[in-house]
Structure 1
Amino acid sequence: MNRLHSDLSLLVCPDFTSDQHHASHTPFVSTTVTNAQAAESLKVVWVATNDDLCVQWQQQVVEDEHLRAEQEHLAGEESLCLQQAHQLEEETACLDERKKNKFKHTEILMQPRPDTNEDEAFVSDFALWKIDKGQFVELYYWTNDSLDETLAPQNTQDDEGLIPSEQNGATVWLSTAASKPSKHVVPDQLLLPANFAQAIPRIVADLEKHDWPEQCILMLARFWGAIMTHRYWNSNDKITQQVLMVYQEEQCRSWHNAVALGTGAWDLSIISDVVLARLFDCIMRESCHAAYDAQVRFTCFQHK
């Protein structure tokens, strides 16, 4: 169907009886059809044809309106998508800029400095980097000894330098401070209970600052709380305390390894008495062997 370019309802039917249209109706004149009848027939045909074209025009107008509305809708959606994409780019750039320049965007609270009797804890950049990556890190870094070590002048020199490091097949640049562990780090299993108790509140706070899942933070907090409320904790027997420290380190390391390998983790806060008993027997045997060896060496020394 050919497209119409104007509204044919505005046209007026020609006067086919006029001299202007004489040539149009003459072919239809015969012995049985007069000029008037031929002109009337042409008028009927013209009106019928014009009515059909008017209907076509109305349909065309409706279709054009629908097409225009659809095009406007699509254009609006495209414009909205572009606007949202642009807004997302701006928000991402703003977020990246805030991450790179945290100090510049620090919110200033309209209040005086809060009173506190505790010095601010400056944890090693290395430990915080491990926390941020979700990796196992020794609790020593949150003890008083480690905090003092972090603030020592000899440990703050050249910490602003960058060194390359490979992660997931890509090279990234780390600060010198974030790339080197402490030279005096103490394994968790050798921590004194007092040092362990110093570290727990601080590492939990840093886990929250580095956006660890709330479920993991609660589990670890309950785990360490269960360690410090276990009957072995306040025992006068040093071996039982050592058993708890060994258990804590082994469980944490195994849990982090399981998470990293994607083999599934478990609830650390559920203390396994079976594992504790096995560790107790193992450490007790090692202690007895060490005591026996020391006695043998002492006896040999006396006989010399």
Structure 2
Amino acid sequence: MPRIPINLNSLICPDYTLELFQDTRVPLVNDNTTHDQAAVILTNIWTASNTAEQLLWQLQVSADEDAAEALRQQDRKALALKEAEAAKEKEDQHKEERKRNLGKFLPIPDRPVPHCPPVIASQSATRRMDKGDCVPLWYYTNKGLENALSTYNSTDDDALSLLRGLDGLTSLIPASSTKESKGVIEDQDLDWEDFCIAAPWMIEAMGRASWPPERIQMMSNFWANLQEHLFRSSGAPFEQKALLLYQAEQHRLWHIAINTPHAGYNLSNINNSLLRDTKDQLFWKERTRSEADRDPPVSSLPNSVCLTTNHF
């Protein structure tokens, strides 16, 4: 349907009685119809036609208004979508900011300054503890905790390192969480004082890392059973050392076994047969070393001595 170019409501019916419309009236004039009557007929025809055309005009106006409103709604939706995307981008940036600078957004606990400094292990140890991995006891000795406080954030937080997970996939993580502390002492090389200091701090750290209660209890029983073992108060050579070596080896092996299907077990039950084997291992290692120190190989003598012997 062609568009109506003007507002038909604004039109005024012509005065068909004027001389101007005589030729228009003539076809209607006859013996029964005068010029005045013909003018009335023409007025009625124009009014009826204009009324119908006004309805079409109103439909056109309504259609135009509907189209304009649809465009406005489309523009509002586009604007709302753009604003939502901008808000989401801002929120994502805020989340990333919170993730990268978590310490800046942590809530402030309503408690006084503690008399003793908090027990804070290194970022590397804390990350491993959060994952449930095996963590060397040294990190929770007095020296390990002092080292963590003195070296805290010494690595650029923005630096990233590649880490391969148990699933074989690699991921980028902050280098500060993978950097090992200098001077780490292996578990078997700790003395008993450091072992007894570290074990309770490790238990507390496991609780903060949300380890399952049964796993925390098992580790607590494991270390308590080692400290209460007969070897602990024995004066026999290698027996106390055997406990520390047993702890180091079995602590590490248990973490490997628990992540292997059908290989886990209760670590707290001390295997005394294995403990005796560990003591024997230390004994023979020390004996071999002593014999090597006492009887150096002939090849270690100076060449001049060999030549002199051969000369005679």
CA shift at 1:243, angstroms?
A: 0.4
**Structure 1 residue aligned with 2:223:** 224
State the alpha-carbon separation in 2 of the partners of residues 238 and 198 from structure 1. 23
**Identity, % of aligned pairs?**
27
In structure 2, relative to structure 1, the CA distance for the partners of 1:215 and 1:113 (3 Å cut) is same
The question of whether the paired residues in 1 share the 8 Å contact of 2:258 and 2:265 is answered with: no
User: Which residue identity lines up with residue 165 of structure 1 in the other structure?
Assistant: L
User: How big is the shift at 1:290?
Assistant: 1.7
Q: Structure 1 pair 277/170, CA: closer, same or farther in 2 (3 Å)?
A: closer
Q: Are the equivalent residues in 1 in contact too, given 2:119–2:145 (CA < 8 A)?
A: yes
- Aligned-pair CA distance for 1:104: 3.1
5 Å-filtered alignment, 1:157-176, equals: 157-159=155-157, 161-167=159-165, 168-176=167-175
Q: CA deviation at 1:296?
A: 2.3
* Residue of 124, 127, 130 corresponding to 1:129: 127
Q: Distance in 2 between matches of 1:155 and 1:146?
A: 15
CA distance in 2, matches of 1:268, 1:169: 27
2:160, 2:237 → 1: CA distance? 43
In structure 1, the residue matched to 2:17 is: none
Q: What displacement does 1:246 show?
A: 1.0
The alignment status of 1:181 with 2:180, answered yes or no, reads yes
Q: What is the Cα deviation at residue 171 of structure 1? A: 4.1
Rounded to whole Å, the distance in 2 between the matches of 1:205 and 1:269 is 17
Partner SS state of residue 293, structure 1: helix
Aligned to 2:112: 112
Q: TM-score by structure 2 length?
A: 0.58
RMSD of aligned alpha carbons: 3.0
1:194 and 2:185 aligned: no
Distance 1:260 1:163 in 2: 24
Is the 1:149–1:155 Cα contact (8 Å) retained in structure 2?
A: no
Give the Cα separation in 2 of the matches to 1:182 and 1:238: 32
| Gaps in structure 1 of 5+ consecutive residues | 1-92
| Aligned residue number for residue 238 of structure 2 | 239
Q: Secondary structure at the match of 2:235?
A: coil
Name the counterpart of 1:212: 211
- Cα distance in 2 for partners of 1:211, 1:147 equals 20
Task: Give the aligned residue type for 1:249.
Answer: A
TM-score, structure 1 as length reference: 0.59
1:276 counterpart letter in structure 2: L
Task: Check whether the contact 2:155–2:175 (CA below 8 A) recurs between aligned residues.
Answer: no
Letter in 2 for 1:296: D
Gaps of 5+ in 2: 1-91, 306-312
- 1:232–1:244 contact (8 Å) kept in structure 2: yes
Question: What do the CA deviations read for 1:118-157 (whole angstroms, capped 9, x no partner)?
Answer: 4322211111111111211211111122222223359724
Amino acid at match of 2:199: I
2: CA distance between counterparts of 1:216 and 1:287? 35
